[in-house]
Amino acid sequence: MQPSLSPDFSFLQKAEAAGPFNAAECFQCRKCTNGCPASFEMDLFPDQVIRLAILGQKEEVLRSRTIWICASCETCSTRCPNGVRIAELMDYFKEMSIRTGVSPAQPHVASLHQTFLGNVRLTGRVFEGGLLPAWWLKSGQLGSKIRSGGIRNEMKMALKLFRKGRLATTPKTIKGKAEVGAILRSS
Ligand code: SF4
Ligand code: SF4
């Protein structure tokens, strides 16, 4: 971790106004990090993200791989003895990085989030049959999947799921589509 020389102490204040996430309660026990199933892929551990946020290290937090690797499993929030809402704070940091024009350190993950929300906007619920192809197209993975032949395995898997009735091939609009759309617009 290389702390920046100009900390932005309003960073956490703004986050807490959107939360609250109780980050200031953190006493660095690392229970969050020790339970995190995705920490092996992270460049900063969850407790370090919290510490850096408290220290106003906005750039380090928003440019980290960790905020995109986080799978929102909530293990950290459940384990935290001080009620720090770590998983929700990670989500907030994802949003902040997009809103402030920071390039996501994990662009494929960011494009999956965007594809997912776009997919839900269409019908009010996720249409699984269209989600992965749309993501591959958006993230530029479709070409490499076709060239490497990986698309064949994906198609075999899709066929298996379809035969078991686990993969819808046409989107179905839900009754509350307008309400879901309003929630997405307000967030
Ligand atoms: S578990 Fe909670 S108090 Fe402990 S380091 Fe993580 S955020 Fe801080
Ligand atoms: S919510 Fe994210 S940071 Fe927390 S334990 Fe799960 S993957 Fe790790």
CB of 45 closer than 6 angstroms to any ligand 2 atom: no
CB of 48 closer than 6 angstroms to any ligand 2 atom: no
Between the alpha carbon of residue 112 and those of residues 6, 60, 132, the distances in Å are 33, 23, 9
CB of 76 closer than 6 angstroms to any ligand 2 atom: yes
Instruction: Find the residues whose C-beta lies inside 6 A of ligand 1.
Output: 26-32, 47, 50, 79-82, 84, 86
Task: Convert the pLDDT of each residue in 88-97 to its tens digit.
Answer: 999 999 999 9
Task: Convert the pLDDT of each residue in 129-143 to its tens digit.
Answer: 899 999 999 999 999
Q: In the block, which residue shows the tokens 């395995």?
A: 153
Instruction: Give the confidence band of 2 by pLDDT, cuts at 50, 70, 90.
Output: low
- Choice from 39, 64, 76, 94 to test ligand 2 binding pocket (greatest atom count within 8 A of CB): 76
Instruction: Give the confidence band of 45 by pLDDT, cuts at 50, 70, 90.
Output: very high
Largest CA distance in the chain: 58
